[in-house]
C-alpha cells in the first residue's frame, strides 16, 4: 500500500520559502517522483506583544508584526525521496511539518 507524505513548509521569508520549494520540486522532477503541489495557502499576519521589562504589567513596545507564508506538497509513494527531503537541513526560518498517510486500495483492508 502506498504512502502519501504531506510536507507543509512555513516561513516569514517568502523568497527563501519559494527557493526551498523550487529545489524540492526540481529534485522530484529529476527523479520521476509524483509530487502534487506546491499549494500556496493565504499568508497569515501575526502580531506579538513586546514588554519592556520581564514583568508583563509594565510598559511595552509596539507589537512586532510579521507575515507567515505556507506551501504544501504531497509526495505519492517514493518513501526514500520523502525521507530524504524530511531529513534535510533547511535554511534558518523554514519550519517543516510532515504528515504520512497510508492509502489503501478500494476493497482492501
Please give the pLDDT value at position 106.
Answer: 67
Q: What's the pLDDT at 50?
A: 86
Contacts of 72 (CB under 8 A, 6+ apart): 6, 7, 8, 9, 37, 38, 39, 41
Distance CA 78, CA 73 (A): 14
pLDDT of residue 60: 86
Binned average pLDDT, 10 residues per bin, the chain of 109 residues: 90 97 97 94 93 78 94 94 94 95 73
The model's pTM? 0.83
Amino acid at each position: 500500500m502506498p504512502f502519501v507524505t504531506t510536507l507543509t513548509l512555513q516561513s516569514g521569508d517568502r523568497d527563501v520559502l519559494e527557493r526551498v520549494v523550487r529545489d524540492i520540486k526540481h529534485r522530484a522532477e529529476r527523479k520521476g517522483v509524483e509530487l502534487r503541489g506546491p499549494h500556496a495557502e493565504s499568508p497569515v499576519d501575526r502580531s506579538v506583544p513586546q514588554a519592556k521589562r520581564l514583568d508583563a504589567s509594565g510598559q511595552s513596545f509596539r507589537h512586532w508584526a510579521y507575515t507567515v507564508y505556507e506551501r504544501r506538497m504531497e509526495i505519492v509513494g517514493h518513501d526514500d525521496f520523502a525521507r530524504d527531503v524530511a531529513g534535510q537541513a533547511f535554511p534558518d526560518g523554514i519550519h517543516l511539518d510532515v504528515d504520512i498517510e497510508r492509502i489503501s486500495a478500494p476493497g482492501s483492508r
